[in-house]
Amino acid sequence: MKIAKNPVENFINHSTSGSFILIACTIIALIWANSPWQDAYHALWASDFSLGFTDTTFAITKPLYLWINDGLMTLFFLYVGLEIKREIIDGELTSFKKASMPVFAALGGIVVPIALFFLLNQEDRGTHGWGIPMATDIAFSLGILQLLGKRVPLGLKVFLTTFAVIDDIGAIVVIAIFYSHGFHVEYLSVAIGLLLILWLLNYLQIFSKYLFLIFGLAIWVLFLKSGVHPTIAGVLLAFVLPSVRYVNLKDVFSNLNNNLKRLKESDPKKHVLTEEQQVAVDEINAVTDQVQSPMQQLEHGLSGWVAIVIMPLFALANAGITINLDSLSATHLISQIGISMVAGKVIGISLFSYLAYKLGIARLPAGIQFKDIFAVSILGGVGFTMSLFVAELAFREDDLLTASKLGILIGSFGAGIVGYFALRIQLKRKTKQTD
């Protein structure tokens, strides 16, 4: 069994595991939405579902696709928040020196695509989608990188992961400020109050997973009612979740040794555990759970659900674009988004990285050349998940939403294909130079 060398490498393995399922669900959604059963596709995701006590104020009724976008995607954002927190505590964001190059790369990857979008879009209609080209889809981009195998240096994977995480931070801020609607201060105040209580309990080293779950659900509902997009609640919950373990490792080792000794002294021929053996196994399970911090436990527990269930479901519900003459009426928006995503990322990431290096603010990761950064910057144009999410928030008009989704799909798949071959060529050149 291969064990990841560090948290970043472990994160990369988790992120790429579901990328092919994500692609498959995207293709299924596109085929379904353009098949004779397209009405069934749209009817399914538009179906209303209620949670709570029906016919009362304590019930929430939403279409299925909004339960995914507002509900399940909160878990996705919780996972993203945990990734960011981990990187800040013990990763590539622990110091400015370590993070400087990907930070400037991410800054360029945010500013330039937005600026390019506004430059291309001089009309009033469609300008609200300016946040669409700014984010990078970590799962998709790392999945493409993994296709190149062991030739890809770990430093390049770390660079892509780090600037994509910082991109997500920027996207979260943009969603919270610019894509939330109709603030209700009273709900938001109560939600912040509950978050402060969780933070205080964290500070006092008091944690209960059940209390966290109850508070988390209440905070999500309050954010939903407040007008701030409820997925932001997921990010904030990540930062009040304890990141330290509450046990002494010496006590853990002592407990494990004692219980392992009890198991070792038992009869190995018996297939059914005795009561004493069962107690020993239960104590081992309990103490090993305590070794990990609540933050690590939740991140580990969510990783599979995010990769295999949540993101594919999001793609299935949001990538189904029915392509007809009406959907192509806003062709200008399709091209604006596609160009801003790909060209904006390449220019922004490459230019800002180069300037930071030349000014002595940042240094290149070990074993990485600027040609590598240029090649991987193309993969930065793979915006898929976060871009689709912003598009859903940005547009209420069907033609603009459909056009923006087409632009996202074309831009993301174009960036993925070109980025793959650009990296393949560059890595072959590097291999020949070292031989």
Mean pLDDT of the region 31-56: 83
Do both 235 and 317 map to the same domain? yes
Among 223, 231, 120, 129, CA closest to 172: 231
Do both 279 and 355 map to the same domain? no
Among 167, 170, 221, 159, CA closest to 194: 221
Do both 134 and 24 map to the same domain? yes
Report the mean per-residue pLDDT for the chain. 81
- The answer as to whether 260 is a domain residue is yes
DSSP letter string, 97-110: HHHHHHHHHHHHHH
* Cα–Cα distance, 23 to 74 (Å, whole number): 21
Higher pLDDT, 176 or 339: 339
- The answer as to whether 349 is a domain residue is yes
Tokens of 231: 């997925």
Do both 283 and 336 map to the same domain? no
Mean pLDDT of the region 118-146: 83
What per-residue confidence (pLDDT) applies to 14?
A: 52
* Cβ–Cβ under 8 Å, residues 377 and 345: yes
* Cα–Cα distance, 341 to 377 (Å, whole number): 11
* Cβ–Cβ under 8 Å, residues 112 and 120: no
H/E stretch holding 16 reads: helix 7-17
Do both 286 and 299 map to the same domain? no
Q: Percentage of the chain surpassing pLDDT 70?
A: 85
- The answer as to whether 196 is a domain residue is no
Q: pLDDT band for 349, please (50, 70, 90 cuts).
A: very high
Do both 360 and 397 map to the same domain? yes
User: Would the pLDDT of 147 be above 60?
Assistant: yes
Q: pLDDT band for 2, please (50, 70, 90 cuts).
A: very low
Do both 25 and 161 map to the same domain? yes
**61 φ, ψ (degrees, to nearest 5):** -115, 125
Among 105, 9, 99, 112, CA closest to 370: 105
Do both 273 and 355 map to the same domain? no
| Number of independent structural domains in the chain | 2
Do both 121 and 50 map to the same domain? yes
Name, in order, each residue with C-beta under 8 angstroms of 250's C-beta and a sequence gap of 6 or more. none
| pLDDT tens, residue by residue, 253-277 | 777 777 777 766 666 566 666 677 7
Among 411, 421, 420, 379, CA closest to 138: 379
Name, in order, each residue with C-beta under 8 angstroms of 412's C-beta and a sequence gap of 6 or more. 137, 140, 341, 381, 382, 383, 384, 387
- The answer as to whether 149 is a domain residue is yes
- The answer as to whether 218 is a domain residue is no
* Cα–Cα distance, 425 to 32 (Å, whole number): 36
Query: Which residue is listed with tokens 């053996």?
Result: 277
Do both 412 and 269 map to the same domain? no
From 291, 309, 325, the end of a domain falls on 291
Computed on alpha carbons and rounded to an integer, the radius of gyration of the chain in Å comes to: 24
Do both 173 and 311 map to the same domain? yes
Query: Which residue is listed with tokens 């990328």?
Result: 19
Domain limits for position 274: 249-291
**pTM reported for the whole predicted model:** 0.74
Do both 265 and 339 map to the same domain? no
